[in-house]
């Protein structure tokens, strides 16, 4: 049996401890993630999806439980250290890129994700061809704008860049938090296609939060529903393949 | 003519202060008040060291290092003790007043009859006022060259990214606290270096010489930006020096109009307000212009 690449064990995150408003926003989460898993995550507003990502990313420390990567306990590891194997794309295109730096400069920083930053020249020129190639594949003129300040890009271009930045240096685990939600439907679909292609080609391990039932069904090999801080639904394999929107809606109606 | 040369010399000597503030105010994107304390601290350190027989070059380097330490304290208070950066700067600035008095042992110290960076043969051979032009030029060229190199390194890019988008920087594995500490530290080192240069040029150091420094430094930055607009990072650093010179020339003009030297802080603030408000005012006037035209067409 293969070992999971990433594990959450009995994760509890409590807020407002010791007050009447005390609440477990993550309530004993157990999750084994295997290499190559592409997990879509559904859940209503406030279900704890972002909190789950922040726990995996290290931005939040759980009150109890363990986070394990490759068999190693990383529960107390800092955000910065975790970037050696973890990358994220946020919902807001503004969060993922540096606006006053050019597209190429952003990519260069992303290439060095999780590595030491020293006083060696950055060597941007030698990378330009490579950047040109990978941005050209995005089919949204990003390759024409390598020297443009990222703040001057369209939302779609900027979010595509965020995604490229998260994957340019292969992450051990990739977290996508509604990364297409801020885009118009057409751009959103384009980015979803790019996302799927990249994940399949690079055999990435990925968790993707989405609000679209269709996307959650269409993409990935596993689907999780988070409800009131608990994993209330978890299907994969053949079962996931045969999942229909009707079945999912019935399930949602049952838990409401 | 000599007045203009003198103003250019002042502009070049003070440019390093503008460049220093640029690191925090523009790149890291926060206001650092420490500079009002590190400027006189640099002056006090250099002058006292020289008075104790230390060579002017070593004394000047010492001033830079002392400024770095003061900045380091601000950086630690801000990032580790989580004190808001404005307050952290004010705390160190206030404390530095006492430290300056400790360093000098009195409120001011003259360099009369003592060696300075300007008393070497080379500078003495220059015509009057050209010595400060030469010194300011040499220092600002060295500082700008080092900074330009630094900003193009991996570390420099991580530094820029921290100020540009902290969330992103962190998610790419950049230790943003360290970047801020480094930035505030080097920034204040440069400001103290500026204090050391100005003190040697003036021939004395005074605990009160820091008042209004932040306005002067900001003025060089803003004037450069208003005049040159969109620039690359390298060009922007050079624009600060040009801004610093222009600021001195404008002050000269104002003094020629009959104002007193004691009015300078008031005038500096007014100048800065005008330059900072200019872009907003301009776009407003533009709007009016367009409105008028629109009405005429009707
Ligand atoms: N720091 C906090 N203090 C109190 N409540 C919080 C805090 N952070 C999140 N919450 C609450 O926890 C719940 C889960 O939040 P979140 O993970 O952002 O949900 P989701 O991303 O699924 O919409 C919400 O009810 C939210 O209000
Ligand atoms: Mg959320």
Question: pLDDT-derived band of residue B289, with 50, 70 and 90 as boundaries?
Answer: low
| Structure tokens belonging to residue A225 | 């529903």
Q: Is the pTM here over 0.90, yes or no?
A: yes
User: What is the atom index within ligand 1 of the atom nearest the CA of A48?
Assistant: 17
Q: Is the pLDDT assigned to residue B32 strictly greater than 80?
A: yes
Question: pLDDT-derived band of residue B160, with 50, 70 and 90 as boundaries?
Answer: very high
What pLDDT does A36 receive? 94
Q: Is the pLDDT assigned to residue B75 strictly greater than 90?
A: yes
Q: Is the pLDDT assigned to residue A14 strictly greater than 70?
A: yes
What pLDDT does B285 receive? 65
What pLDDT does B272 receive? 86
Percent of chain A with pLDDT over 90: 82
Q: Is the pLDDT assigned to residue B147 strictly greater than 50?
A: yes
Q: Select, from the ranges A47-51, A251-255, B74-78, the one with the highest average predicted confidence (pLDDT).
A: B74-78
- Average pLDDT (B149-165) is 96
What pLDDT does A59 receive? 93
For residue A2, give the DSSP letter: P
A49 lines ligand 1 (CB under 6 A): yes
Pick among A109, A123, A147 to test the B interface (most B CBs inside 10 A): A109
Task: Using a CB cutoff of 5 Å, list residues around ligand 2, an ion.
Answer: A 50
pLDDT per position as a tens digit, B162-216:
999 999 999 999 999 999 999 999 999 999 999 999 999 999 999 999 998 999 9
Q: Give the whole-angstrom CA distance, residue A222 versus residue B135.
A: 68
Residue A80 neighbours by CB distance under 10 Å:
19
A60 lines ligand 1 (CB under 6 A): no
Angle between helix A155-167 and A103-111 (nearest 10): 20
Q: Is the pLDDT assigned to residue B133 strictly greater than 70?
A: yes
More confident residue, B276 or B217: B217
Q: Is the pLDDT assigned to residue B274 strictly greater than 90?
A: no
What pLDDT does B297 receive? 43
Question: pLDDT-derived band of residue B287, with 50, 70 and 90 as boundaries?
Answer: low
Percent of chain B with pLDDT over 70: 95
Query: Distance of alpha carbon B231 from its chain centroid, rounded?
Result: 19
What ipTM is given for this predicted complex?
0.92
Q: Is the pLDDT assigned to residue B116 strictly greater than 70?
A: yes
- The long-range contacts involving B147-150, CB below 8 angstroms and separated by at least 24 positions, are B147/B19, B147/B23, B147/B237, B148/B233, B148/B234, B148/B237, B149/A121, B150/A119
What pLDDT does B268 receive? 86
**Is A84 in Cβ contact with B173 (below 8 Å)?**
yes
Helix (H, G, I), strand (E, B) or coil at A15: strand
Are the C-beta atoms of A49 and A181 separated by less than 8 Å? no
User: In this structure, what is the dihedral angle of CA atoms B169, B175, B180, B183, given to the nearest 10 degrees?
Assistant: -100
pLDDT per position as a tens digit, A59-109:
999 999 999 999 999 999 999 999 999 999 999 999 999 999 999 999 999
Pick among B168, B176, B183, B233 to test the A interface (most A CBs inside 10 A): B168
Q: Which residues contact A48 (CB under 8 A, 6 or more apart)?
A: A13, A25, A26, A27, A226, A228, A229
A46 lines ligand 1 (CB under 6 A): yes
Task: Say if B120 is an interface residue toward chain A (CB within 8 Å).
Answer: no
Q: Is the pLDDT assigned to residue B282 strictly greater than 90?
A: no
**Is B173 in Cβ contact with A165 (below 8 Å)?**
no
Are the C-beta atoms of B59 and B67 separated by less than 8 Å? no
A50 lines ligand 1 (CB under 6 A): yes
Q: What is the DSSP annotation of A220-246? A: SSEEEEEETTEEEEEEEHHHHHT--HH
- In total, chain A counts a number of residues equal to 256
- Average pLDDT (B261-288) is 79
**Is B170 in Cβ contact with A98 (below 8 Å)?**
no
Query: Cα dist. A153→A90, A128, A150, A188 in Å?
Result: 17, 18, 5, 16
- Average pLDDT (A150-156) is 93
Q: Is the pLDDT assigned to residue A2 strictly greater than 90?
A: no
Are the C-beta atoms of B188 and B55 separated by less than 8 Å? no
**Is B156 in Cβ contact with A122 (below 8 Å)?**
yes
Q: Give the whole-angstrom CA distance, residue A180 versus residue A188.
A: 5
What pLDDT does A1 receive? 57
Q: Which residues contact B140 (CB under 8 A, 6 or more apart)?
A: B12, B15, B16, B19, B241
**Is A113 in Cβ contact with B172 (below 8 Å)?**
yes
What pLDDT does B131 receive? 95
């Amino acid at each position: 049996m293969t070992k999971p690449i990433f594990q959450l064990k009995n994760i509890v995150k409590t807020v407002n401890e010791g007050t009447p408003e005390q609440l477990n926003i993550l309530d004993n989460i157990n999750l084994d993630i295997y290499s190559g898993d592409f997990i879509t995550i559904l859940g209503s507003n406030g279900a704890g999806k972002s909190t789950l990502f922040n726990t995996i990313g290290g931005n939040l420390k759980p009150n109890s439980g363990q986070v394990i990567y490759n068999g190693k306990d990383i529960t107390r590891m800092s955000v910065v250290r975790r970037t050696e194997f973890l990358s994220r794309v946020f919902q807001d295109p503004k969060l993922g890129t540096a606006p006053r730096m050019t597209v190429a400069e952003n990519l260069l920083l992303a290439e060095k994700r999780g590595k030491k930053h020293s006083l060696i020249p950055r060597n941007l020129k030698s990378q330009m061809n490579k950047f040109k190639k990978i941005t050209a594949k995005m089919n949204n003129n990003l390759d024409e704008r390598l020297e443009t300040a990222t703040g001057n890009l369209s939302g779609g271009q900027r979010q595509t860049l965020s995604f490229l930045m998260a994957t340019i240096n292969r992450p051990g685990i990739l977290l996508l938090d509604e990364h297409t939600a801020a885009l118009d439907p057409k751009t959103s679909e384009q980015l979803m296609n790019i996302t799927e292609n990249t994940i399949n080609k690079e055999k990435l391990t990925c968790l993707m939060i989405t609000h679209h039932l269709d996307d959650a069904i269409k993409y990935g090999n596993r689907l999780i529903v988070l409800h009131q801080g608990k994993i209330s639904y978890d299907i994969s394999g053949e079962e996931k393949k045969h999942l229909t929107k009707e079945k999912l809606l019935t399930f949602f109606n049952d838990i409401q | 003519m000599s007045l203009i040369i003198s103003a250019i010399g002042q502009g070049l000597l003070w440019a390093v202060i503008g460049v220093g503030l640029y690191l925090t105010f523009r790149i890291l994107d926060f206001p650092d008040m420490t500079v009002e304390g590190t400027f006189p601290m640099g002056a006090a350190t250099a002058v006292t060291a020289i008075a104790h027989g230390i060579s002017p070059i070593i004394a000047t380097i010492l001033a830079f290092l002392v400024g770095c330490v003061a900045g380091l304290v601000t950086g630690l208070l801000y990032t580790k003790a989580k004190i808001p950066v404005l307050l952290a700067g004010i705390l160190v600035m206030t404390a530095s007043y006492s430290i300056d008095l400790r360093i000098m042992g009195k409120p001011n110290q003259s360099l009369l009859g003592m060696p300075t960076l300007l008393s070497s043969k080379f500078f003495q051979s220059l015509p009057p006022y050209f010595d400060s032009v030469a010194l300011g030029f040499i220092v600002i060229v060295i500082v700008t060259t080092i900074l330009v190199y630094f900003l193009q390194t991996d570390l420099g890019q991580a530094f820029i990214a921290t100020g540009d988008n902290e969330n992103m920087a962190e998610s790419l594995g950049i230790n943003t606290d360290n970047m801020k500490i480094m930035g505030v530290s080097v920034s204040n080192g440069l400001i103290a270096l500026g204090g050391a240069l100005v003190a040697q040029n003036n021939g004395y150091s005074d605990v009160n010489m820091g008042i209004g420094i932040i306005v002067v430094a900001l003025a060089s930055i803003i004037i450069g930006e208003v005049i040159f607009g969109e620039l690359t990072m390298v060009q922007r650093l050079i624009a600060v020096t040009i801004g610093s010179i222009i600021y001195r020339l404008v002050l000269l003009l104002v003094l020629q109009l009959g104002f007193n030297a004691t009015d300078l802080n008031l005038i500096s603030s007014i100048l800065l307000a005008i330059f900072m408000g200019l872009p907003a005012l301009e776009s407003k006037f533009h709007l009016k212009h367009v409105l008028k035209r629109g009405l005429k067409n009707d």
